[in-house]
Chains A and B, each alone.
Chain A
Amino acid sequence: MSDRLNENSESIMQVRNLKKYFKINRGYLHAVDDVTFDIPRGKTLGVVGESGCGKSTLGRTVLRLNEPTGGEILFHGQDLVKADKREMKQIRPRMQMIFQDPYSSLNGRMTTAQLIAEPLIVNKVCRSRSEIDERVDNMMDTVGLAKRLVMAYPHELDGGRRQRIGVARALILNPEFVVCDEPVSALDVSIQAQILNLLMDLQEQMGLTYMFITHNLSVVKHISDRIMVMYLGRCVEEADADEIFDHPCHPYTKALLAAIPIPDISSQHVRRELLQGEVTSPVNPKPGCRFAARCPYADDACRQGDIPLKEVAPGHKAACLKAAGLSGADVRQPEQA
């Protein structure tokens, strides 16, 4: 383990073969299955996938809000899976989460100031009431919340301001690592852009490391340095942001890219290849590629044994037997459009 650390010493978060299964009546739901990634300090890893692909579970498990079924979560080299309650209490403030729905993630009985102060109080960071007030004031300034809103309740605010509270609450403990779980999905486009800009500015100012979970490919391209595409609990492709959009390898990534409606009429009415069928069940999955059932290129080899994540180009990994042959094939690609 030690050499692995040296090899990638700037990585703040290293996840190795992480698994999270949920036990249900019919067996095990493989929400996250054998996922491995590194996030270097100050960078953003985007995690994309459709609903039910396990991306939210991954985010929660990395923070150990869920107990992982197996694997390692190395935060600064320390394995969170093995950390006991006391150690976790020490680590918690250094990694935070921004939630998807700014309507349900804020306790409606607390005011803005109380909501933002709560992590400070819970972790007993401040010695006095006035210190808390000061830090809350500064944080409200940082995220762009007007002073007059200190006593406002969440229901009196619009989605954008609520999400600013969510951001403030996540950042008030000065964390190093933040999991953003669809932070802008519930917001209108114009507000969405405000929050995205805010997140990027804060990353620069505070040197934050993000894991950015979303289903929106345009957003993820915009904010991420590296992107991981998930399908049914598995990482199917991982590469730098531009690389994945310019040269998608995995048929699923291609389909996903082709499916985004693009607000540009020059590409209008181009007949594109649509993915048929729907996501299969993540309960007791069959061996082989999970995407095989919907994949236009799948053959028998795809349905047998595990498909490993293989490097197809430097820094570009894909879990597809046919990746090499498919690279850059017949899908509408951004630069061609």
Chain B
Amino acid sequence: MSDNEILKVKDLSILYKTDLETVYAVNHVSFTLNKGQTLGLVGETGAGKTTTALGIMSLLPKRTARVTSGEILFEGQDLLKMSEKELLGIRGQKISMIFQDPMTALNPVLTVGDQIGETVRLHNTKNLSREEIEKKVEDTLELVGIPKERKNEYPYQFSGGMRQRVVIAMALICDPRMLIADEPTTALDVTIQAQVLSMICDLQRKYGTSMIMITHDLGVVAETCDTVGVVYAGEIVEYGQLADIFAGEDHHPYTEGLFGSIPNLKTKARRLQPIEGLMPDPTVPVEGCRFAPRCKYATDQCRSKKPPLWEKDGHQIRCHFAGIRKEAKHE
């Protein structure tokens, strides 16, 4: 692990096991997050993005979830091998998370100031006095663009965008080294989304925080991320620098499908090119490529054999025909 990397996830697999079924949520996922950079995990509902995030935070439901393989190296230490006590020193303090829904992520009976200060009080390693904590809460509120006078108000007095700012303030107050943002703007309106996104990016640049941005919106990815992992059915099917994904020559068919599915503001094409079919059932282990049933290029080989990882200058694609299909397509 080089000095430049803050988080390295290697071969992570997570499954949920209940009496009735086993859900293979995350399958052999590997990625690296460099210091001060943003990694985007993009994919559809049920792709395993959030499970990956919860895995990193060690917040998976204890009763059902099992990590079956892999390691999560945060600053060189494997989070999976840590005791609950050691994790407490990391979770919320060095790694924090911004949740999707600002309406439910806040406790309605506590003032926002109390809620933001709570994290500091829990991790009070620097032995801050009450006044110092209050000061820190006020500073953080100002940082996310909320006047500090509002710290004694309750969540219901805030609009959706403001609440998400409060949630972000909660995540930032301990100056975390890494931030996991799970669909931070999905519940917000576009103009508010733009405000919140640009705020997150500014803060990140200012403090050099590393970030994992989980989203389904390729537009958000294009605006915020440095590295991108395209997740499909618990697997990273394509991984590379932003330019590799958005401008590169080679793509996984699913990535192509995703781009074909979004109505483009620039082109005037009347019909979209959706990906036919549905997400595979995550309870069934798959022999070959998980995308094969929906892939228009799929062959027998795809259905029977797990595709190897194709790689070129750090751009990885999990497809039998990566780098080959391109020529075929141009014919």
Contacts and interface: CB of A to CB of B under 8 A. Distances in A.
B263 A196 contact: yes
Nearest to A220: B263
Interface string B185-225: 00001111111011000000000000000001111111100
B247 interface: yes
A216 B194 CA distance: 14
Chain A interface SS verdict (over half) = helix
A189 B44 contact: yes
Interface stretch (B136-144, B174-182, B271-279, B305-313): B271-279
B184 interface: no
Interface in A258-294: 258-269, 272, 274-276, 278-279
Contacts of A335: 266
A51 B218 CA distance: 22
Nearest to A252: B191
- Tier of interface size on chain A: 35 or more
A261 B261 contact: no
A217 interface: yes
Contacts of B265: 217-218, 221, 245, 260, 262, 334
B266 A337 contact: yes
Nearest to A259: B194
A263 B189 contact: no
Given A189-B258, A193-B261, A218-B264, A50 B276 contact: no
Nearest to B217: A261
B162 A265 contact: no
A256 B274 contact: no
Contacts of A256: 190-191
B88 to A, nearest CB: 35
Contacts of B264: 218
A85 to B, nearest CB: 37
Contact of B274 (A197, A266, A278): A197
Contacts of A309: none
A219 B190 contact: no
Interface in B208-254: 216-223, 242-243, 246-247
A192 B270 CA distance: 15
Interface string B80-112: 000000000000000000000000000000000
Interface in B14-32: none
A107 to B, nearest CB: 23
B61 interface: no
Contacts of A218: 262-265
A266 B246 CA distance: 9
Contact of B220 (A222, A261, A272, A334): A261
Contacts of B263: 193, 196, 218-219, 221-223
Nearest to A161: B278
Contact of A265 (B246, B257, B276): B246
B190 A265 contact: no
Contact of B191 (A158, A190, A255, A334): A255
A191 interface: yes
Contacts of B223: 261-262, 268-269
A194 to B, nearest CB: 4
B221 A50 contact: no
A278 B192 contact: yes
A215 interface: yes
Contact of B261 (A189, A200, A266, A268): A189
Nearest to B218: A263
A50 B191 contact: yes
Contacts of A242: 268
A256 B194 CA distance: 9
Contacts of B257: 190
Interface string A50-82: 110000000000000000000000000000000
A160 interface: yes
Nearest to A192: B261
Contacts of B192: 50, 278
A215 B45 contact: no
A223 B268 CA distance: 10
Contact of B216 (A188, A258, A260, A278): A188
Most buried by B among A193, A217, A255, A268: A193
A318 to B, nearest CB: 18
B222 A200 contact: no
Given A265-B243, A335-B266, A278 B161 contact: yes
Interface of B: 44-45, 159-162, 189-195, 197-198, 216-223, 242-243, 246-247, 257-266, 268, 270-276, 278-279
25 contacts: A158-B278, A158-B279, A159-B45, A190-B44, A190-B261, A193-B272, A196-B263, A197-B271, A217-B265, A219-B263, A221-B263, A221-B265, A245-B265, A255-B191, A256-B191, A261-B197, A261-B222, A262-B223, A263-B217, A263-B262, A268-B222, A274-B195, A278-B161, A278-B192, A335-B266
Given A193-B262, A266-B247, A334-B266, 8 more contacts: A190-B44, A193-B261, A197-B271, A215-B189, A218-B264, A259-B191, A265-B243, A274-B194
